[in-house]
Structure formats: C-alpha cells, structure tokens
Structure 1
Amino acid sequence: MNENTKPASEPWTDPDDDYVEWTEEMFRTAAIYKGDQLVRPATGTLRSLGRPASPNPKKQVTLRLDPDVIEKFRATGKGWQSRINAELRKALGI
C-alpha cells in the first residue's frame, strides 16, 4: 500500500499567537457584564481598530446615468466607479 504523504488537514495553530494586547483605554471603555447581566455599557469607540479616517472622504450621492454609460464603465473592470469620478474631474478641469 502507498504511504499517504499529504497531511489529512492543516496543522493546528494556536489562536493566542495573534492576540491583541488590551490597552488601559480598552479596559476603561469596555462593557462590563456579571454573568448575563450588563453592569456598565461600553463607552466611546476603539479608534485603533479599522481603517484610518481619510483626510478627504468621499460623499455618497444618487446619480442617474444612461445604461450604456454604466455598461461601458463596468466593462472596464473593478474600480469603475473611481474611473467615473476621474472622468468627471477631468471634464471639470479639477
């Protein structure tokens, strides 16, 4: 019989290897529970998590465009909305 050289599954990795060390601020703003009872709700937000805020954030708008215009831009692939923005900027000279 041939020996199976392929492992049956991925090797186990300890989930604690990627733990995030809590800061004092995290402890101060965390919710406190005693069993299932909420003793103190969380306050504030953890600003250290997630994507940093953009200095010039985009604004969401509703815009009606002709179907053929949308099809042409979508056909260019991922990032087509950004390309529409670039074309509008070019047309406006900004």
Structure 2
Amino acid sequence: MPKLKPGTIHPTLEEDASIQRGIAADPDAMEFGEADAKRAKRMGRPRLDAPKVPVTIRYDQDVIDAFRATGDGWQTRMNAALREWLRDHEAA
C-alpha cells in the first residue's frame, strides 16, 4: 500500500458510518459493481508496443547544451539524431 501524504486524516468509525448513511440515503448515488468495473476503461495513455527504456548515460556538456538550446523536445530530437546515425552507419 502506498504511503499517504503527511497530514492525511482518516475518518473515525462514527464519521465513516455517517458518510455511508449519507451515501445510502442519496438517490443519485449508484453502486459501482463488478459489471461496472468490467466495462470501465483505463485512464491515461495507451501502452506502447515498444516503450522507451530509461537509462543513465554521460554526454559532453557542449553536446547537451546544444540540444537543450533547441527548446522543449530536445531529448526526442537527440533520440532522432541517434536513430539517424544508426540508419546511416548500418553494419554491412
């Protein structure tokens, strides 16, 4: 179970019971059952067939500065430059 943020307050048993009574009395509150869970869609981006791999690598400062100077998306452009180099220097 993930850690909660500092200052998170849990309701007491009495408060929780009051909340549950309020939910039960609300005609607009719907039960979210197993069938609903099966129909639910995942949030966020779809999973990639070939996700990127996080690595730690060291480059010369001037190389990093040059790519960063191109603005947002510099890592994508660096990836494209490396991919282009691989295409041009394919092993025979």
Structure 1 spans left out of the alignment, 5+ residues: 1-21, 29-45
Residue from 72, 76, 83 that aligns with 1:78: 72
Q: What does 1:14-93 align with in structure 2 at a 5 Å threshold?
A: 24-26=35-37, 48-93=42-87
Larger relative helix fraction: 2
Tell me the CA shift for residue 83 of structure 1: 0.6
Residue 47 of structure 1 deviates from its aligned partner by: 5.8
What is the alpha-carbon root mean square deviation over aligned residues? 2.4
Q: What stretches of structure 2 of length at least 5 have no aligned partner?
A: 1-31
1:25 deviates by: 4.8
State the identity %.
Answer: 47
- Moved >4 Å (runs of 4+): none
Q: Which has the bigger relative contact order, CA under 8 A and spacing at least 6?
A: 1
Write the distance in 2 (CA, Å) between the matches of 1:89 and 1:57: 15
The aligned length equals 55
Question: Could you say what secondary structure the match of 1:59 adopts?
Answer: coil
